[in-house]
Amino acid sequence: MLLHKRQIVLILAWLVLIFTQAIAIYQGEPYISSCFPVSRLAIALTFWLELIAIIITGIAFILTATKQDVTEHPHPEDKLHSHQQELSTLPEVTDDITAFKQTQAALQSNQNLIHTVLENIPNGGVFLFDQNLRFILAAGLGLEVVGITKADMEGKTIWEALPPETSSKVELPYRQAFAGISSRFEAPYGHRVYEVHVLPVRNDDGEIFAGMTITQEITERKQSELALQNALQLLNLHIDTTPLAVVQWDCHLCVTRWSSAAEKIFGWLAEEVIGKYIQDLHIVYEEDMTAVAEVSDRLLSGQEAQIIQYNRNYTKDGRVIYCEWYNSSITNEEGSVTSVLSLVLDVTERIQAEKALRQSELMVTEERAQALERERAARIELERASRMKDEFLAIVSHELRSPLNGILGWSRLLRTRKLSPEKIEQALESIERNAQAQTQLIEDLLDISRIIRGNIRLLVRPTKLIPVIQAALDTVRPIANTKSIQIISRLNFDIGLVSADPERLQQVIWNLLSNAVKFTPEGGRVEICLEQVETNVQIQVIDTGTGISPEFLPYVFDRFRQADATTTRNQGGLGLGLAIVRNLVELHNGKVSVASPGEGQGATFTVQLPLLATYSTLTPEEPLIQRQTAWDTKVQIKGLKILAVDDEPDTREFLKTALEQYGAIVTTAASTREALKLLQLVKPDVLLSDIGMPNEDGYALIRQIRALSSEQGGNVPAAALTAYTRQSDRLQALTAGFQIHISKPIEPIQLLKIVATLAGNNSN
């Protein structure tokens, strides 16, 4: 028994030494810190664990020794006899008792020390439990932190002392401790997290008689781990979603990271690239390999930490792309470069845009120069056009004033009533001729306006050319006779039909013939030929006139162009006739050309029109020749009541006189309001109305009339007699309610026919 006491003393002394070392390490003793350059807390915890294990071993040893004390003396009488024998050695026993008391005091002191140590275990606790999972011991500062005491645990099972979520977590490892299995796990307790070590406690014979639990709070560490995990997840999310490719490669140029953006940019999947060397991927454009190698050397050697590089790369499918590489070297704790992290941006579109921009800038420069040249040419052309306009306006003024001179002059002479009958006839012919010339000038101006706007409309039908040509010849022959010009016609009467507007085609031939007569001197010759050339009809007008210079020949058919636009020119006209000819011929799908050997040698104009392939089954249309000036007619308008509306007194008087000569009863009105009043009084058979009138125009008049009942004259036949001659004007008149649209000026015979037609009395 004495031996056991001495052993206990030695054990306690050892425990004190270990405890002292643990405290020193935890508090950071200099010599300990210098010897062990690691975490003081970790070493202290190790000593704490050793201390607790030794405590348990010592307790087991004492219990075992006490048990042996009892079992070694089964016969107390023998022991008593032995003690009686020892009474003789009482002084020695006295000494032993003294030593025992000293040992007992030391043991008590060590027990107090152990108790203090256990109670002050920081940030956790130590627990002993038996096979029933009942706590035998509970100690540590961690108990107070969670708000429990030793009394709350000692003597109670885990189900009684712990929350359900904790007891269910520790039950299995506690039971495994009695099977000799140590466990380490994490368990929650309230809002805290603990790292738990469960291990068996054995006696000297190796028997497990208890289990021990050591806990350490790791709440802050878990929060740090969670924050680190979240940060890593966020970083990986950025890496996966950024348009920049993330590529990492080690010191041997072996790829260790390849983001999803890298897969999109280069085409290789991560599993195809990671672990392979960059040079094996053939990712670098050949001409850029040297520069890329130099950058890699500077980064891996530590010469530079960051390098931005621009180079060309290959994709998996062999395309060449342009990339910017933002390279950064990664170092370890010793400062040695371990790898290179590269952020790669595909700038192919930007490079291509820059190239396109540079190209466009070059093109802009060239285009600017061309634009300046075009502007200069346009300015020259504008100046030329301005001169032509001025010349044209001067010509228009001349061509309009010249006929007016004859008209006004002869009119004033007629008013003197001193002219002979022959002179009166000559005066009337001159007035009529000059008025027709003015009418033609106006028609040419209107036609060229329609041509410019593209508003020429053709009434196309199968047409025989012989009547068209003969009508044009009849028109120009009187003028030719006055100049003693011989007109020869060579016409093939077997020519088939063409698809044409007869009136417009007659206008073409009349323009060519009148042009030839105009520029042919007295005693000259004008010839017109009609023949078939392959599948076309060919009309030629040949004259022996002044001819055309080679310089002016390309401009013959241009608008407002004349070979002689000076004030000393020999011939009049606006220079529009041939431009109208070309446009009308082209509208008929034909061609017109001119040839002349030179000035003074005449000219030949040629028109070709396509023949109709099936002309034999078609009925030709005769042209409408509006040149009749005779007053002999079978038109019957006698007794018709006519209401004529015009704001011009001369026009009203002309209409009244012309129609009354054939027996019509004519009432005139100067305005829309007056016409509406007379409509109810006269109840006319025919209405003739001007369009352009003050206050209310002719459109307003016809709309108000059409709104009336039949008994009030709402259905009276009406014709618009106007100087507005555009196609849109005609459509507007018909839409408003007029049956016929007539352009001013109008010949008397045409007026009679229109009135008879509206009244239904035209027997011609």
Place of tokens 């020999």: 570
Residue type, position 25, single letter: I
**Which tokens hold the place of 711?**
């008994």
Distance CA 230, CA 118 (A): 37
Distance CA 397, CA 92 (A): 167
Q: Is 531 left (phi over 0), alpha (psi -120 to 50) or beta?
A: beta
DSSP string over 642-696: EEEE-S-HHHHHHHHHHHHTTT-EEEEESSHHHHHHHHHHH--SEEEE-S--SSS
pTM over 0.75: no
CATH superfamily of 242-346: PAS domain (3.30.450.20)
- The answer to whether the 242-346 and 457-617 domains have the same CATH topology is no
Distance CA 659, CA 684 (A): 14
CB contact at 8 A, 515 and 477: no
Between helix 421-453 and helix 577-587 the angle, nearest 10°, is 50
Give alpha helix (H) positions in 36-75: 40-71
User: How many residues can be counted in the chain?
Assistant: 764
Within its chain, how far is the Cα of 321 from the centroid? 24
Per-residue pLDDT band for 52 (boundaries 50, 70, 90) equals low
- Model confidence at 71: pLDDT above 80: no
Neighbouring C-alpha atoms within 13 Å toward the C-beta of 574: 25
Bridge partners (DSSP) listed for residue 236: none
Using a 10 angstrom Cβ sphere, with 0-12 exposed, 13-18 middle and 19 or more buried, the burial of residue 344 is buried
Q: What is the pLDDT of residue 391?
A: 61
Place of tokens 């001197």: 521
Query: What would the pLDDT profile of 470-486 be if each residue is shown by its tens digit?
Result: 988 988 888 888 889 99
Bridge partners (DSSP) listed for residue 214: 126, 197
Query: What would the pLDDT profile of 319-347 be if each residue is shown by its tens digit?
Result: 999 999 999 999 998 889 999 999 999 99
Backbone angles phi, psi at 167, to 5 degrees: -60, -40
Q: What is the pLDDT of residue 198?
A: 95
Per-residue pLDDT band for 133 (boundaries 50, 70, 90) equals very high
Q: What is the pLDDT of residue 56?
A: 54
Q: Which among 284, 265, 314 has a CA at the least distance from the CA of 295?
A: 284
Taking residues 187-215, report their average pLDDT. Answer: 90
CB contact at 8 A, 578 and 515: yes
Per-residue pLDDT band for 688 (boundaries 50, 70, 90) equals very high
Query: What would the pLDDT profile of 370-426 be if each residue is shown by its tens digit?
Result: 888 888 888 888 887 777 666 666 656 655 665 676 677 778 778 887 788 888 888
Q: What percent of the chain has pLDDT over 70?
A: 76
CATH architecture of residue range(s) 641-759: 3-Layer(aba) Sandwich (3.40)
Per-residue pLDDT band for 579 (boundaries 50, 70, 90) equals confident
- Model confidence at 625: pLDDT above 70: no
Within its chain, how far is the Cα of 358 from the centroid? 23
Q: Domain 457-617: which CATH class?
A: alpha beta
**Which tokens hold the place of 119?**
């109670």
Taking residues 579-606, report their average pLDDT. Answer: 91
Q: What is the pLDDT of residue 91?
A: 58
What H or E segment, with its residue span, contains residue 571?
none
Lowest-confidence segment of 187-196, 563-572, 687-696 by average pLDDT: 563-572
CATH architecture of residue range(s) 355-455: Orthogonal Bundle (1.10)
Taking residues 111-125, report their average pLDDT. Answer: 74
Distance CA 541, CA 523 (A): 17
Q: Which among 553, 544, 557 has a CA at the least distance from the CA of 517?
A: 544
Lowest-confidence segment of 35-39, 146-150, 351-355, 509-513 by average pLDDT: 35-39
**3-state class (DSSP) for residue 21:** helix
Locate the domains of the chain by residue range.
1-120, 242-346, 355-455, 457-617, 641-759
**Maximum Cα–Cα distance across the chain:** 205
